[in-house]
Structure formats: C-alpha cells, structure tokens
Structure 1
Amino acid sequence: MKRLLCVLLCSSGLGGAGAPAIAQEAGSATTTNETETIIVQARRRDEDVQDVPAVIDTVTSEQIGKLNLRDFREVATIVPGLQLTTEANGVGGNARLRGVNFDVNASGNNPTVEFYFNDAPITAGVILQQLYDVGQIEVQRGPQGTLRGRAAPSGSITVGARKPNLYDFGGFVDMTANDIGTQNYKGALNIPLIEGIAAIRVAGVYDENEVDRVRPLNGARDPQSRTASGRISALLQPTDWLKLEGVYQRLDRRAYTYDQVASFSESNPAAPASPVYIDSDDRRAVQESARPIRQVYDIYNWRAEGSALGQVLIYQGQHYTQKVSSTANIDLANLFPGDVNQVTNSRPKSTSHEVRLQNQDRVAGFFDYVIGFFDNRNDAPTRLTSPTIVGLRTGATTGRIIQTVNSNIERQGESHERSFFGNLTAHLGTGTEISGGLRHIDYSSDGALLVNGAVIATDAQDAKKWIYAASVKHNFNRDLMVYASTGSSWRPGIVTVGDFSLRRSALQESFLNLPAETSKSYEIGVKSTLMGGRLRANVSGFHQKFKNYPFRTGGQGVYYVNYTQVAGLGVVPNVTQFNFVSAVPVEVNGIEGELSFDLMEGLSVNAVASYALGKIKGGNIPCNDLNGDGVPDTITSAPTLAQLQAAVGANNIAGCQVSQRAGFTPPFSATLSSEYQFGVSDRVNAYLRGLLNFNGNSRTDPGNPFDDTKNYGLVNLYTGIRDPEGAWEVALFAKNLFDTTRVLSQTNPQFTAYRNAAAGGAAATYTGTYVGITTTAPREFGINVRYAFGSR
C-alpha cells in the first residue's frame, strides 16, 4: 500500500507546493492553472516571479489552506533546503538555507536568513508560531540587503498579513481537529468603515496541541501547548496619492514540554543497556517534570506611502517586544530525584525605521531605482539562574542532592544599525536588463555579561562596511530567460552567551567572541514558460564563499573546564558542556530547480528540489579531543575533571583543525505534489491531492558518528469537497501517512555534572545511557471545516 501511494504520487508527475501558484485567499475555489502568474515583491515592486533573476519560493494563502499549514515551521515541508526550528527553551528560532547552519543563541541579532513581517525585519522566534490570515510568504535565496532591511547571506523570508479590503464586508472561520489532541480555530472579519477610504480587519487564532507528543516515563502530565493570538489591521486611503496602514498583533503561548531521549544502544550496540529501553519511536523523556514555557509577543507595525510625479515615498516602521520565560533541566542523565532547573527570563525589544524612494513609472523609459535609509535598534536583556548541584551517589544510577547553589547570570546587550542603500536597474531594449545595488552599513553594539552582579566579560563593536549586489538577465523571448548574479554580505561579529566561567583562556575566548563575517556569492539560472503557460521549468546553480562563518558545534556541545563560585569552596573547576562557536572559512555549492505542469483542466503536478553542500575548509573548531591528536573524538561518556584538565591544560578547551560539512541538514531535499479536482455537481467540487516531502541521506553533525540519518519521505494526503465559489469547504487529511520516524538530531550520551559532597566538594560527572534526540513529526489524521463570506 505504501509503495502504491508513492507510485500514484510520482506517476502523476513531478511536483512541489512551493512552485509558482496563483495568489488568492485560502479556501477559495479555482479551476485556474497552478502555473498562472504569481506576483512577488522581491525587488520592491510588483513583478511576475518568472521575471525576477533570483530563486524565489512562494507560499500563497491558498496553499496554506490546501495543505492545512498551522504552524509556521510546516512551511519547510514545501520549500526544499529550508529548515525551520525553535529552541527547546522557547527563547528563539532558526532558519537554515543553502547548506549552512544558523543558531540564534550563537549568532545574535543578525541571522543567516532574515525574516520580515509586513516589510519590517523581525526575529524568527516571533514568526515561527501559529500561522493565520497570511496573504503570502516569499522565500528568496541568496544574499540580501541592497533593496531593504538588513544584510543576510543566505536569504530572506517575508510574511505579509492579509490587508483590509476598502470596499467589501466579509470574513471567514476555519476549524481543524485531529486524532492527536489538536484543536485549531482561526478566523477574520473585514469591515469597510468608509467605503473606498477606510477599513479594518480583525483576525485571530486559538490553538491547543500536544507539541511533539513526547511523554515522560514517570507518568507526569502530558505535553501541551496553548496559543492565543489576535491581530487588528487598519487601512486609510483618503486620496489616490496617500495610503496609511497600521497593524497590532499580540501572541500569548503557554507550553509544557519534555526533551525526547532514546537509549544510546539503539544507535550504538556497544553502549551499556538502559534501565528502561527507549526506542526513538517511543517519544519518551526521562525528564521528571514538564518544562514550562511562556511566550508573549507584541508587534506594532505601521506604514505610509505617498506618490507623486511617478515616484513613491514609503516609510515602514515597526516595534516589537518579547517576554519569554522557561526552564531547562541540568540533571540530563537523571542521576538525582526530581529535576534541577535553570530558569531563564528574556525581555528583548526592537525598533526599526525605513524610508525609501522609488519610481512607479520607469524613468526615461529605461530605469527603475530604489534608494533608502534604514535604522534598527535592538535591546536584548536576559536573566537566568544557573544552579550547581552538591550531592552524593547512593547507587550506580542514583544520587541524593545535598544542596543546590545558584549563580545569577545577566546578559546586557544593545545594538544599533544604520545604513543607506540603493539599487538601479537598466532595461536595455525589450530583452536585456542590468541591475546593481550598494549598501553602506554603520553598526555599533555594547554588551556585558554579569555573574552574581560582577562583570566578567564585555564586548563592544563599531564597524562600517559596504556590500553589493549585481545581476544581468536576458529574455530570448517571452518564454525563456537566463540570468547571472553576484552579491556580497556582511554580519557583525558575535558574542556567544552560555559559558559563564569566571576564568577563561585565550582559546576559550576565541570560541566566544568572533570577528565579523563576510561572504560572496555567484549564481546563474534559467527560467522558462512553455506550452502556452502550462509548463514552467526553472533551474539555477550557485557558489558562495564565507570568511569567519560562525559555526556552532552540534548536539550538546563540547566538554570544557568551567570555573564557578561555590559557597564554602571559592572559585572551583568542574566539567561542563556548551555549544561553542568558531569563525571558519566555508564554501557552499548547490543547485536548485522547479517544475510545474498542468496536465489537463483540474489536474496539476509540481516539483521543487534543492541540493546544497557547505564545507568548512580547514577551520579551527572547539572539539572533544582527550587524546590530543587534533582530531575530534567519538565521545561515549563524559570525562572526569582530571582527564579533561590533562587533555586541555590551561586552555580549558580543545580545538581541532577540520574540513567537514558546515550544515546539519540533508544536502538534497525535494517536494512532489499533485492535485486533481472535478465537479460533483453545479454546487459541489471535489478534490484529491498528495504531497511527498523527501530528504536525502545526512551525516547531521559530522562530529557525531552515531547520528547519521538515512533518506526518508513523508507523505501527506488530502481530500474534500467545497463550494465552487469558495463559500465553504470540508476536508479530510493525513499527515505523515505512514507514520515514518527518523532521528533528525542526536546528542552525545547525556551526563550530569555535580560537586561530590563526600569528597569535599570535588567535581564529579555521571554519564547516563540515553541520548537527546529530535524526530520527525508524528502521524495525524484530521478534519478541516471552513466557511467564508463576502470579501473573506
């Protein structure tokens, strides 16, 4: 049966939901070809995606409804090569694209892939939440920065909320339920206050789910997540030349989660047996109590547009705040009864302003231009309590806590970025176009790390940098375009937070305070539209070279000697793990392609594929190197303090010169989809669609030989009936139909560091028999019901 369904999907043709599709509201009926024109704003003006000399994956509101995408992270299932993840502690989120990693805890405020909400930059953690009332998502690959916002070396993801309709009253309600505890309700209401002049749109979502369904062995409360979010948008257009927009959005999420583990013997048969064997399919945790997470996000977004004499002046502003609190268990090996938690409270805020001037009518019949100024301030204060356990071993796998000693950690950090940017495009005849842009970045930051009120580290930067972008394209005819592009990028040096040692070596500091990153990229591509618009085929290849790329070690990091203040003992060393970062040279090569074909009226097939391989070229990275041979060790148990000190000496940490993979995602991934729709009667249409998300083999973390992932495919099926005019729809769906489970990441065996009360407080470690893992999403069967009216 499994093979039959896969054959049916593939025999329908090649497909991917990320390929071009007509933009319209979710749930509306259409028999229009999937390959019809989709308009994007990649170059700050409305253009057919086929005319833009860049790789752009679009996710329309219709696709969001068709595929029942509820969590923003599901966008990655239809955009090959994109990985979207959130931190277990709820503090942030990550986007990875084109063969390199990004970790928000390592890379500060300037990510590898920049997110935008209504044209203003925003952190990933705010966006990677419940998805509702979105107009369109655009994923643009390659260096960004000469047309808006901030520089980003790997790409950008823009999210546009649905805007008010000035003329028609309308709205929708949408309800989803599944067999694994999800209830999702969302809707919107559009109200024209003054027809043609003023309108508001109110939208919201309420969602309950069981997160990743990871449950504890001890029968404690089940995992749970509850999200409530609302948005109000206003649009005022008193004249043809003036438009004013404003948006306020609030999201409040409460979650109780567990960290998934598996017995180390599952991947390493030589490992000791676990007290209770846990398979990766079991979705279990040894954590004894749930981690509470509270996230509150407030977004204020505003915009003004004024046009005259064929030019338009745009001001885009945004201010958002984050209030995040969570706990993290430090007794990972579960040696002691109960959990010993590190409590984190983070209160970042950010404000951005952008003013840009651009043409509406082509200047002198030849030129398009964009010039602008951007200003962004970030303030990211974080406070946490870091506990040290003082305890006794009472058995081979058990212990007793005598006391815990807390250190109060505070991270203060502010950054300010100002930049001028401009882009000029020359249209030479009807077939050739040359475009170039520049950005001058003026960046400054100031930060400090305090432990128990004492400053143990400071950082300050003041940098200025130029970046550029250029492209040339030629249309041989209206159906065939070739292009070549190049671009550079720059990101400020970062200060990594998480090592709170009171005594740091020079090598240790080099893995915490990194210089600025630069990169250059080169790309060529072909875009074609054939058979009267029924067939589209695009392909591109790229090469990108980084200097000082901030590469973060995988899993739980590497072991190092950490000096902490313990009452009665003074400043003492102990063994700790942390994901240090290193500035390394990286080269990435890749190819991306998409194919979209309308076989007949009502039957479409699509394909999108990506291959990107990033490699570190002789970089010095933090590593576990207990034998001192300069090669990262395979770790199966935590070292003792004496072993570690003998290996690293006064450096506190080891470094290894490596040439290895720079990304932890599969180099190859693809999506295949097909849809068939037909009329049952004059009042009812029916449809059947399938989606296959394929991921190739991956070594995941190159330093961990036990976490390799074999290729796998996840199959989603959807069927339902709907009103031909889009007034209602009832759909049944199955996600991960065959309940495929793959381990996506795996740590070294989990360990607990503590002070041995029976040995005068000497440092001690205990290695457990479990490893931390993440896996593919569980299977779900569900139903979706939608009703829409008016402007929707």
Structure 2
Amino acid sequence: MLRNNAARFVDGKIAMSASVAVIALVMPACANAQDVSSPAPAPATATAAQSPSDSLGDIVVTARRESESLQNVPVSVQVVTGDAIQKLAIVQPSEIAKLAPGLSIRLAEPGNPSLVLRGVRWVQASGTPAIPIYFNEIGFDPVQSLQTMYDVGQVEVLRGPQGTSRGAPSISGAVTITTRLPDLDEMGGYASGLIGTHDHQNVQGAINFPIVPGVFAVRVAGSYDNSQGNRVRSIYAAADPSLKTWSGRVSARFEPTDTLSINAMYQRLNQSSDFYTQVAGAGSSGLYASPYPTTLRFAPAGYNIDGRSAIRPGERLSVQETPNKQYLKTDLVTVNARWEVLGQVLSYNYGIQSNNRPKSFGTSVDQANVLIGYDQIQEGFFADRAYKNFHELRLSSDRAAGRFFDYDIGFYREQARSSQHTLIPNVLPGARGNPFGLPNPVVNPAAIDRYFLTADTNIQLRTKTYSFYGNLQLHLPSDFELSAGVRRIHDSRPSSIDVTTSSGYAAAGLASSFGGTCPTAAGLVASPVYAGVCDAFVPAGTRPTQSLGKVYTPTIYNVSLSRKFGPDVLVYATVGSSWRSGLPALANALPDDLLFPTPEKATSYELGVKTSLGRRARFNAAVFQIDYKGQLTQFQGISYFRTDTSRVDTTNVAFLYNVDARVRGAEAQLTVKPLHDLTLDFNLSYAKIESQGGQVPCNVGPAVSASNPMNFCDSAKGSSLNAASPFTASVNGDYTIPMDNFDGYLRFVGSYQGRNPAFGISDPDFKAKRNMIVDLFAGLTGPDAGWDVGVFAKNVFNTKRLLTSTTLQNTIAPEFGATGLSAVTVTPGREIGLQLRYAFGSR
C-alpha cells in the first residue's frame, strides 16, 4: 500500500530505505572539489547515506588528498558513486559524461578513445594525455582505463589545473576512477546482469573475503560484456559488428595497525572487436579524374555505395568489404600505501601497465570502397611487450583542526617503452588494371599480388619522466585560505621511426617500345598479368631513421585564494600553468618538422562560488579562461605527401600541429530536493576553444608533392578548434515510491548538446547540430537495496545526430576522383533492456 507522499512531506518522516535511494542520486550529481590521491575516496557515499531524509546531506570528497566537505574545497569536481553507476545501468565509462556536462568520452571505435573537458580535446597516440585518467591513483593510458566499468567505488571528474599535485601536468582537468576496496570485517558480494536490445549482454559481480578480520581482506571481481559496439554494419560484408570484453580483478587490503594501510590490485582485460568505419554521403560520381578525361565514366554514379542515391548518417552504414579488427590484452597493477608517523603522512603509489598481445589492430585502408573486390588492410603489432611503470612518493602533514598550515612534498617518476610495427599496404602501377590503358576499379587479384609492396614502419617509443613537487596551504584569519604549488619536471621521450619496404613489381612500359621484347639488361621482364607489358623489379629498401631525443625541464605552478563567508558560502580564485609534450605522428610518413610537434604551454584562470541554500539546495558556479601557446591540436584527414612511398595520403588521428588558442567558459550546478523522495540535479557547461590566428594544415592549395608535402591556410581568429559542442547541459532525477515490503523507483537522465557552427577543419561542410538524449529507468528494490529488478530505455526517443565528420580523401586510387563520402560518428542508438541485481553482506 502506498503511503501518502504529501502527508510525509508535512510531518517530515521517511523510511531509511527511501533516504538511501534518494541520496544515491545526489552522489552522481555534480560535486565541486579538486583532485583525489587518497586510495579510498568512499566517504562521500557513507556520509550522504546517514543524512536526514529531508535534506541533501553533506558530500565528503577526498579532494586535496584529505577528506573535506564538497562545499569547502576551492576547485571543481563532479562525483559519480559506484551506487549511481549501478542504478543507471552504466557499464561503459563513456556514459559517465551524461552526468558531467563539459566532459565527453567517446569510443566510436574500440581502442581509440577521445576525451574533451573544458573545450580541450585529447585522442589516443597524441602524447601526454591532456585529460589524464587516474585508475586507483595511477595515470594509465586512457585506452587501458576506458574499456569497461565494474565494481567501482567512485569516479571523480576534476576540473582545472592538476599538475602540481598529480603526475600529468594537465590544465583542463582529469578523471579519477577508484575500484571498490575489500571490506575488512564482513563477507559479502553481489551479482548483476543486464540484457539489452541489439544483442547486448553484461554480467558482473564481486565477492569479498575477510581473511584476518579487521586486518586483511581480499576482493575478487569480474565482468563480461558482449555487444555490437557502434552498431555500424557494412552493405558489402556479411560479418556483424562485435565487441567482446572480459575482465577480472583481485584486490587486497592490509591494515595491521591504525596507522598503516596497504591496498593492492591486479586486473586483466581481454578485448576483441570487429567493427566498421561509418560513412555518409552521395558516393562517387563514377567519372575519371585528371590526367584522364574528366567527362569519361568508369562506373555508374554511386558505384562505391552499391548504387544507392546516398547514405545518411542515421543509417549507421559502412562500405568496407572486410571489418576492422582490434585486440587488447592488458595487465594493470596498482599499490597504494599510507603510513601515519610522527604527525606526518608518508604515502607511496606504484603502478604497472603491460600490453601482452602481439597483434594490436587491422584497419581497412579503403574505407570508401574505391577499389571493388579488394580491401587493403593496415596491420599493427608490438614487437615486444609494451610496458609502463609509475612511482610516487609523498610526504604530507596530518591534517588537523587549528593548524596554521599544511603541506605536501613529493617525487614522481614514469617510465615506458614500446616497439610498434605498422604494416601499410601500397599498390604499384599495374595493380589497378593495365596502366597503359584506362584504369579499372574492379581489382584483379593476380594484379594485386604482383604489383604490391608493404611499408613496415617500426616506431620505438620511450618515456623517461620524473618530477619534484610541493604544495602549501596557509589557513589565514577571517576564513581566508591561500594555497600554492609548484612542480619541476624532467621530460625525455626519445623516439625513432624506421621504415622498411618489401620488394615488388611495377608495370614500366610496353614491350612494343623496346622492339617487341622486354630488355632484361635494363632490368625489365615480361608481365605475367598483362600481355605486351614490361615490369620493373622494385627492390626492398629502407629509409633513413627519423629520431627525436630532446629533454625538457619546465616548471609549472598553481595558486588559489579562497574565503568562507559563513558556513554556506565559499568564493575562490585560482591561477595555474601547464606544460604538455607530444608524440611523433604515428603512421604518418612526414618530414621531421611536421612529424615531431613542440610541447604546448598553457595558463588557466578561474573564479568560483559555492553556496548551500539551506539543507534542500546547493548552487555552485565557476568561470574560467585558458590561454594556450602552441596547443597540440589534432588535424585528421589532411592530404600530405608520404616520404616512404612517395604517394599522397591523409593524416590520421595522431597528427598534431601547434596552434595558439584560447578557451573561455562557465559551469554551474543546482541540486534541489523539493520532496522527501525526489531529488533533481541541473548542470550546464560552456567551453569553447578558439584559434588565435596563424597558419594551420588544410586541404586547400596546390597539389601536394615532395617539394610541397602539405598545404597551410590562415586560421581565422575565433574559429573553433574541435568538433565538440561548446554548450552542454544535463538534468537528472530520482523519485522513490516507498511500499510495505519494497520500494519502487523512477529515474531519468537528460543530456543536451548545443550546436558548433564554427568547426570545419577536416570537413568544411560539417556543422555540429544540437541534440537531446533522454534515458529512463523504473523498477523495484528490496529492503536495504539487497535486490533490484528494473527496466531501462537509453536514448528513448532514438535521437540520431551527426557528431563528427571527416572527408575521406581518395588517396588509394586518385584517378577515380573524389570518394563522395565522409567518415562520421553519430549519437549512440536506442537501447531497451532489463537489469537484475542481488547483493549480500558487505556488498
């Protein structure tokens, strides 16, 4: 029987089970703080769960490496608890962004994440992460940390400069993911399962064992996820898209005394995927390009899209003849130790990242299907195990009330090595038909086998980075606080690129030109494919090594001044700097001056306010500006002349170019509790990164060649430098319906992205449009949330909006003209499903 909600609103009484359900939504609500380096930021959940039912309660965050109230920390962070992750059926890290406007985590293709925070974009293979992902306090590569999400204690989206207290000197922010710690006193665990449309299944669980109660415990967790990935299918291939992820984790917790704690974790992840690059457009015109007659038709219009009039973005289609493949096999190890001694705290963090699978990927080179009947595959593999390790040693004061100052000093070191080979296929004259006649897009397998060579690009990467840092907080009279930090960095990233080409044959001339026979003395032989054609042997070769061995020693800083006006208002101002190095443009055969970008420098300014409006509302806001000198900006899809094969190609996601830029933005959050069982959270973010002028790579200008390897154009001041929408907003809510023996619930998440009309680097005609995605959840939960049965609908209105677009240049066979297609990404499709969960003991 339902209890009268209005009556309970008047008399102020409520069941504890309803309180827990309501406060669980407050946890994912945006919560402002800074950075977390404590290994166990769980207090936010516990504190909120004990709060009175008619108030929002206090959110505790381990922000500045100490437990503090959210409203007392003078920087910005958004918190998503493990409980909220389960309630909103979040099984992929990319879904966290729905609760954190201004943050974008996209996995349009497996193994290739992209992140945006405060207008700053980072993609895989583009150097030091601009938005680091800290997994149990260790800054692993995002591609290793953003593949699955299970048994998580808390996620924090940190905004603003992080470099003086963490390993990576980021300027826009970072994301921390903390796994669940073992419970020292009580056995427990959980099991959950999710079934969704489009063949999506997810199973995960954990079990907790106190080996020595109160002293030592072990937790074992695991997850299996099977889906169709981005759901893009090919009109030419029968194989369906597939994404399978297996992961297991063992965590140990050891606390022999009240002053010593050691937490260790080992995680293994295996992932395999078959996927296609989504395309949109009208397809090829079917007309030859110069030097052939441009009015002459070689195929019907739209021949590369199966004769359709066009492919629309909402159709989620590809034209590849074979799928791309991606493989991951990763081991992660973390150790977090803390010792309180003599009124100080000594902390040590250690991490290992190891990629153990030799083969890494296989990607189609002919994503626009210019050549019919053949799909060139670019393969990548590691010559040996890719390895990375981290060490951090920190000494800090043991925070206590009444102290005049607190401090942190520390040392951080990161080392990495990898040797990756990329096998790039290249066709030679004769591969696309008799070169002394008209070329044919329908491939003859015998011709491809003969007129073909492979360029093996071997990229040796090393990272040797260490730094010393210190932070000081002064607790001044009149509720002022002044904090300052500095980090001295020693950064060395020696790298080298070697290119070796295999041998092959190229059609060189007509036998009739040599009197009817091919002169062997000139190195020519008769073609076994084309009668009357002479072939020349192309020997294997090597290109001189390109290398970079610079050492950088920058210094960065962060200063913040804040003041409390009574218990409910905090005002703060922060200024900080950053420095970030890039990596060579992997698999882009460019001259040295374009292959190795110079490091970027940035300065951030921020003003913020935090207010508590009674116990039923919170309002926090900030405005900020980031000034970049030489920002590492991605320019994908730019035509250039390859130095290894002497042909035209287009840059991939790893090509970066330095551009002076500025970001200006604002953020705001309002959390209200109008009813005992209803919590609403409103968030908005505006952040736009704009060019400050100068020259940038472009596809306008004379034909690229050895003497003109790439074209450059003026970058208009004020033009946008990434495709992410400047304005984003979200609203989410949770309504609990108490019943006699169990509770019902209704939840929703609405996320909005505005337009980005000023972006057009890789596709001049692309303009990002606004979109709104709504997720709905409903179900029943048992006493103390011990069981849960629910249904959900993500993207309930099946919104289909174009997010990114990159023109697919015809570099594989330029004689067949423009492809008429762009590689695109769209909003995730609708998913309807059922979720079941059972928990016992310590959970």
- Same structural fold, with TM-score higher than 0.5 when normalized by the shorter chain: yes
Give, in whole Å, the separation in 2 of the partners of 1:180 and 1:87: 17
Runs of 4+ with >6 A deviation: 27-31
The residue aligned with 2:678 is 603
Q: Where do 1:93-242 residues align within 5 Å?
A: 93-105=113-125, 107-108=126-127, 110-242=128-260
Answer yes or no: is the 8 Å Cα contact 1:623–1:655 preserved in 2: yes
The residue aligned with 2:617 is 535
Give, in whole Å, the separation in 2 of the partners of 1:32 and 1:61: 20
For the pair 1:675 / 2:693, whether they are aligned, the reply is no
Q: 1:535 to 1:697 in 2, by over 3 A?
A: same
Q: What TM-score do the two structures reach when normalised by structure 2?
A: 0.83
Query: Per-residue CA shift, 1:402-424, capped at 9, x if unaligned?
Result: 22311111100101111111111
SS state at 1:650 partner: coil
Q: Which runs of 5+ in 1 are unaligned?
A: 1-11, 566-571, 628-642, 755-762
Moved more, 767-776 or 138-147: 767-776
For the pair 1:788 / 2:839, whether they are aligned, the reply is yes
Letter of the 1:305 partner, please give it: R
The residue aligned with 2:576 is 487
Letter of the 1:671 partner, please give it: S
Answer yes or no: is the 8 Å Cα contact 2:108–2:825 preserved in 1: no
Answer yes or no: is the 8 Å Cα contact 2:51–2:58 preserved in 1: no
The residue aligned with 2:293 is none
For the pair 1:424 / 2:472, whether they are aligned, the reply is yes
The residue aligned with 1:771 is 822
Answer yes or no: is the 8 Å Cα contact 2:27–2:81 preserved in 1: no
Q: How many equivalent pairs are there? A: 730
The residue aligned with 2:564 is 475
Equivalent of residue 443 in structure 1, options 486, 491, 496: 491
Give, in whole Å, the separation in 1 of the partners of 2:427 and 2:587: 18
Give, in whole Å, the separation in 2 of the partners of 1:790 and 1:375: 40
The residue aligned with 1:690 is 748
For the pair 1:661 / 2:679, whether they are aligned, the reply is no
Give, in whole Å, the separation in 2 of the partners of 1:724 and 1:395: 73
Q: Where do 1:481-520 residues align within 5 Å?
A: 481-500=570-589, 504=591, 509-520=592-603
The residue aligned with 1:564 is 644
SS state at 1:717 partner: strand
The residue aligned with 2:660 is 585
Q: 1:31 to 1:61 in 2, by over 3 A?
A: farther
Query: Per-residue CA shift, 1:437-481, capped at 9, x if unaligned?
Result: 111111112110010165431001211111100101111011111
The residue aligned with 2:91 is 70
Give, in whole Å, the separation in 2 of the partners of 1:432 and 1:400: 77
Q: CA deviation at 1:221?
A: 1.4
Give, in whole Å, the separation in 2 of the partners of 1:365 and 1:577: 55
Equivalent of residue 688 in structure 2, options 613, 627, 647: 613
Equivalent of residue 363 in structure 2, options 318, 321, 328: 328
Equivalent of residue 100 in structure 2, options 68, 76, 79: 79
The residue aligned with 1:290 is 323
User: Rg larger in 1 or in 2?
Assistant: 2
Q: CA deviation at 1:24?
A: 3.5
Query: Per-residue CA shift, 1:191-237, capped at 9, x if unaligned?
Result: 00011010000001011111111111135111111111000000111
Give, in whole Å, the separation in 1 of the partners of 2:144 and 2:656: 24
Query: Per-residue CA shift, 1:513-539, capped at 9, x if unaligned?
Result: 2222111111001100012x2100011
Moved more, 75-84 or 185-194: 75-84
Letter of the 1:545 partner, please give it: D
Q: Where do 1:346-361 residues align within 5 Å?
A: 346=382, 347-361=385-399
Query: Per-residue CA shift, 1:677-704, capped at 9, x if unaligned?
Result: 12121x2101111111000012374232
Query: Per-residue CA shift, 1:608-657, capped at 9, x if unaligned?
Result: 11000111111321111226xxxxxxxxxxxxxxx444xxx713111122
SS state at 2:818 partner: strand
SS state at 1:477 partner: coil
Answer yes or no: is the 8 Å Cα contact 1:237–1:244 preserved in 2: yes
Moved more, 425-434 or 288-297: 425-434
Which structure has the highest strand share of the two?
Answer: 1
The residue aligned with 1:757 is none
Q: CA deviation at 1:600?
A: 1.2
Root-mean-square deviation (CA, aligned residues, Å) is 2.5
Give, in whole Å, the separation in 2 of the partners of 1:728 and 1:575: 56
Equivalent of residue 721 in structure 1, options 771, 775, 780: 780
Using CA pairs under 8 Å that are at least 6 residues apart, name the structure with larger relative contact order, 1 or 2. 1
The residue aligned with 1:639 is none
Answer yes or no: is the 8 Å Cα contact 1:715–1:738 preserved in 2: yes
Q: CA deviation at 1:259?
A: 0.9
For the pair 1:43 / 2:64, whether they are aligned, the reply is yes
Letter of the 1:691 partner, please give it: V
Give, in whole Å, the separation in 2 of the partners of 1:500 and 1:765: 24
Moved more, 337-346 or 356-365: 356-365
Letter of the 2:803 partner, please give it: L
SS state at 1:538 partner: strand
Q: CA deviation at 1:156?
A: 0.9
Q: CA deviation at 1:663?
A: 2.3
Answer yes or no: is the 8 Å Cα contact 1:494–1:516 preserved in 2: no
Q: 1:132 to 1:576 in 2, by over 3 A?
A: closer
For the pair 1:415 / 2:463, whether they are aligned, the reply is yes
Q: CA deviation at 1:500?
A: 2.2
Q: What TM-score do the two structures reach when normalised by structure 1?
A: 0.88
Q: 1:446 to 1:576 in 2, by over 3 A?
A: same
Q: Where do 1:18-57 residues align within 5 Å?
A: 18-20=29-31, 23-24=44-45, 32=53, 35-57=56-78
The residue aligned with 2:410 is 372
Letter of the 2:795 partner, please give it: N
Answer yes or no: is the 8 Å Cα contact 1:581–1:621 preserved in 2: no
Q: 1:583 to 1:576 in 2, by over 3 A?
A: closer
Give, in whole Å, the separation in 1 of the partners of 2:693 and 2:769: 27
SS state at 2:94 partner: helix
Answer yes or no: is the 8 Å Cα contact 1:492–1:515 preserved in 2: yes
Give, in whole Å, the separation in 2 of the partners of 1:296 and 1:37: 41
Q: Identity rate of aligned residues, in percent? A: 31
Q: CA deviation at 1:91?
A: 4.4
Letter of the 1:447 partner, please give it: S
SS state at 1:63 partner: helix
Give, in whole Å, the separation in 1 of the partners of 2:27 and 2:752: 11
The residue aligned with 2:528 is none
Answer yes or no: is the 8 Å Cα contact 2:432–2:441 preserved in 1: no
Give, in whole Å, the separation in 2 of the partners of 1:581 and 1:114: 18
Give, in whole Å, the separation in 1 of the partners of 2:833 and 2:68: 37
For the pair 1:737 / 2:796, whether they are aligned, the reply is yes
Answer yes or no: is the 8 Å Cα contact 1:95–1:124 preserved in 2: no
Moved more, 275-284 or 611-620: 275-284
Equivalent of residue 426 in structure 2, options 371, 381, 388: 388
Give, in whole Å, the separation in 1 of the partners of 2:458 and 2:662: 36
Moved more, 183-192 or 339-348: 339-348
Q: CA deviation at 1:574?
A: 3.9
Give, in whole Å, the separation in 2 of the partners of 1:603 and 1:672: 13
Q: Which runs of 5+ in 2 are unaligned?
A: 1-21, 33-42, 285-299, 501-541
Query: Per-residue CA shift, 1:36-80, capped at 9, x if unaligned?
Result: 222222311111221111111111112101211111111112111
The residue aligned with 1:5 is none
